[in-house]
Structure 1
């Protein structure tokens, strides 16, 4: 048996100088690929955050949980979890980047002075975003396809039946492989989306990601503002339905307390929302009372207060999850981007600016555009309780079809989604690419090939096992929620307890024109980790211990749509762990300063 590299002494303490030289060369090389300025990094980080989560998932969750109460919970989670975790990532990332590391395992290894445990914990922040790209690319392809359909076949969205038929057939929900084997072009669109993303990250940080963000983030903002103005000018599109208006939509989205007219389903016995009544509108109140009295008990008036909404633990879990997705915090994306920032760059203000840009798009634009448009054309009943995909790909296309110049505004909406998706997906792929370059020692071209192989394989698996979107739901359950929560907790423990919150905030304020409020020392050390742990344990209890979530049940039944995607994810995880263990660069710690 041939002696191992460890037995040969290649990774022994005597050869520490060898690793010092490697790290120095790597650090020198990293300096050649960095952000050209503050605006570039802000736009890129904002672009990684402004994605499908803003324009689809956020409005969908707001509609599902009644609007106002969700907004309150989301705001609290933003202040107590989102901003602290974002600042922690900025600080950790830039500090690690100055040592020559550009991915979480390397950054954690340097900051903990060679801890193997922390190096392996850092793999979570590579696995999460680079694997989420597997199903994110598929949704990105849907957006491209819908953009083309809105331009060439707007008539298919004229009715609810036509819209549903289009969604089920285009996405392949009817059965595994039905989308890729059909003639709707999804296979070619998926391939094009993957090549586009690989092409951008191949060009590097400044010439690829930053240049794309500088051009397309302003275009994204312009398109979203055009759509917002058009939608806010709709008013009441059908006078025969006075309860279907933009005013009602905004009220449903933002009012913390509501008076709802509900109707009982004859088959299931469940009460479903029919319309919302404004307590200040006397005529609407009288009409609602009259309808309830004449319904023979099949309708009722229900007052939903802010407290009623906030008592729902699922709402808080959804709000926290949305903060992670919309701000890209706890995922390793910001850490990787921050590692390419110059030493004296103002990362405290850049972090706030990127978060503020994201909230403008999410709350200020998407929150006033998506759900109100659905309510104006389809009523509260058409928007209430709708999930992410139903609202974005079935409800809104109907709304645009009923709008004047539907081809223009409908296609603009899906162009907006496509651009937003690309700015996010390139950041996910950059995390994996940085890991491959750093730990495998590959040059950019070969690293892109390796990253492209895993991304293409994972994406095609999700696109193939499309029946009831089981593969996508399985990945989203384990990666988009479970992995991100754990990764965020790891980062906050590292920042606040392992390294020390005072040292971390001092690094954060280095070169900054603002000072972090002192209250955040307490929040980042105690409040944020406690909230993360509490929400995570509650999520586990609800989805595993009390009632098993659908992906877990599917795995238990051995369904291919869950087992095969998880098998590939397990193989990819083992690959990351093996490369982390075998890499010669991070074997012996040396102080780079």
Structure 2
């Protein structure tokens, strides 16, 4: 079959800046605000920054550049890219799309909660017991995990509203939708959260909160679990290995500075995480001061409990709490939206290329189905249990499996790392040395393989959160099974336009490459 160059009709970012803003918007999400502070606190405080920075430099950035090189060289969504790498790898791309679908289903409802709490903050609707208000009055949480049919109207309508907004943005395409929305949302997020942090630093007890976050417990560095936690945090917060950065980089122009962009995105994401830690723990210090206890005695320092139970209690106790609450929950909403849009684009782009749809068709067809499923699952009284299971298995089994398979495939089965390193160096001002191949090909699969095996073993032998076996099978392992079955089915469906009619650019040198990725 004749091989021709890729069509020039593919959508593109308006320029390097648009891509960087969108990539930062994807990386900066809910996990930066509610996950990083708690993970840091539980794993050595200030000492955690040591493995965190090492994980960023040694694992996070190299894998981010792997995603960039694949997406930019092979110009497509995750399934298209892996199909062009080798026909047998297409299913890996669809597996990554499946991960994004699972995350999208529950991520949307968290944004809907945040949006509701913006309004609740004005009048501090939660009263004297924010934790009870969140679970009993707002979510109407069932006593036991299960399959719920009781719809909660207070969750249903904001959830529908969020879906309408994101599907409209998605239908507008890359430049008019994704890029423009991120140009609005990301600066808004930075301004809102910066104002929140400044306010938090002037609260009584803020210094004690910062001491709790940054005082190093150097003995924690001797525990392997702390290093695993650092890798996990970097990995999840950078949006790598499940199709987002592959898809985003595919919309870059051919002459694009990939390595410099990667460094900007990675360090911007980590800077925001540290900023979030400062703001959150300054605020927790105030709460501990009000109660006359140590910060270490507070409960609920991470996840939904931090955002929707602990923070409302703080808002009620502080001067000007209503305004502070609006800032916090608007920040949470905006951070969630920028990440959600990137997840949706992974799915939309894959279906557009497989079936020849345009952005509007993909938004209406795929997005509408996802919206219905999300609404059915997460507007009921059992939503919090299902969300918890989806999140655990999607991230700690799905994403890590994807990363391990991807690095082994590219490094050992196909031996493509020299070509990808050469590609990065051809289009970038900052060159990548041979060390990158050893990190991606050896260190990353070893570290992530250990995380995967130990994590799966723990889930099998110890369960999770006391959930019954049937619930873990349906909503935990069932989510992973969906990813696998979805990947198999989508791979077997014929492409409307053959993705193999493609020649990567720039062409490899006629003399070939050495094992280190240099010209022969």
Residues 191 and 330 (structure 1), Cα distance of their counterparts in 2 relative to 1, 3 Å cut: same
Residues 311 and 538 (structure 1), Cα distance of their counterparts in 2 relative to 1, 3 Å cut: farther
Corresponding residue for residue 512 of structure 1: 428
Larger radius of gyration: 1
Contact 1:105–1:120 under 8 Å retained in 2:
yes
Equivalent runs, 1:441-520 vs 2, <5 Å:
441-464=356-379, 466-467=381-382, 469-497=384-412, 498-520=414-436
- Say whether residues 1:127 and 2:87 are aligned partners: no
Contact 1:138–1:190 under 8 Å retained in 2:
yes
Residues 590 and 216 (structure 1), Cα distance of their counterparts in 2 relative to 1, 3 Å cut: closer
Corresponding residue for residue 280 of structure 1: none
The root-mean-square deviation of aligned C-alpha atoms, in Å, is: 2.6
- Say whether residues 1:230 and 2:210 are aligned partners: no
- Post-superposition offset of 1:359: 1.1
Residues 564 and 592 (structure 1), Cα distance of their counterparts in 2 relative to 1, 3 Å cut: same
- Post-superposition offset of 1:529: 1.9
**Partners in 1 of 2:190 and 2:282 — Cα distance?**
19
Give 3-state SS (helix, strand or coil) of 1:28's partner: coil
Residues 91 and 41 (structure 1), Cα distance of their counterparts in 2 relative to 1, 3 Å cut: same
Contact 2:170–2:341 under 8 Å retained in 1:
yes
- Post-superposition offset of 1:322: 1.8
- Post-superposition offset of 1:197: 0.9
**Partners in 1 of 2:242 and 2:479 — Cα distance?**
20
Residues 508-561 of structure 1, C-alpha deviations (whole Å, 9 max, x = no match): 1222121224433332222222111122222222222x422348x53x3x34x9
Residues 142 and 572 (structure 1), Cα distance of their counterparts in 2 relative to 1, 3 Å cut: same
**Partners in 2 of 1:481 and 1:567 — Cα distance?**
14
Equivalent runs, 1:96-495 vs 2, <5 Å:
96-97=74-75, 102-112=76-86, 115-116=87-88, 118-151=89-122, 153-154=123-124, 156-157=126-127, 159=128, 161-174=129-142, 181-183=151-153, 185-234=154-203, 237=204, 245-257=205-217, 306-307=218-219, 309-363=220-274, 365-378=275-288, 379-383=294-298, 386-464=301-379, 466-467=381-382, 469-495=384-410
**Partners in 2 of 1:144 and 1:206 — Cα distance?**
26
**Partners in 2 of 1:523 and 1:154 — Cα distance?**
50
Give 3-state SS (helix, strand or coil) of 2:59's partner: helix
| Structure 2 segments unaligned to the other structure (5+ residues) | 289-293, 505-520
Corresponding residue for residue 265 of structure 1: none
Q: Quick one: which of 59, 63, 76 aligns to 2:37?
A: 59
Residues 462 and 370 (structure 1), Cα distance of their counterparts in 2 relative to 1, 3 Å cut: farther
Give 3-state SS (helix, strand or coil) of 2:35's partner: helix
Contact 1:253–1:367 under 8 Å retained in 2:
yes
Does 79-88 or 415-424 show the bigger shift? 79-88
Structure 1: 4+ residue segments shifted above 6 A: 176-180
- Post-superposition offset of 1:179: 10
Contact 1:439–1:585 under 8 Å retained in 2:
yes
Q: TM-score, normalised by structure 1?
A: 0.78
Residues 405 and 587 (structure 1), Cα distance of their counterparts in 2 relative to 1, 3 Å cut: same
Residues 342-378 of structure 1, C-alpha deviations (whole Å, 9 max, x = no match): 1111011111111111111111x10111122112222
Corresponding residue for residue 516 of structure 2: none
**Partners in 2 of 1:200 and 1:332 — Cα distance?**
19
Corresponding residue for residue 4 of structure 1: none
| Structure 1 segments unaligned to the other structure (5+ residues) | 1-15, 238-244, 258-305
Contact 1:465–1:471 under 8 Å retained in 2:
no
Contact 1:169–1:179 under 8 Å retained in 2:
no
Corresponding residue for residue 72 of structure 1: 50
**Partners in 2 of 1:416 and 1:410 — Cα distance?**
10
Does 162-171 or 198-207 show the bigger shift? 162-171
**Partners in 1 of 2:102 and 2:68 — Cα distance?**
22
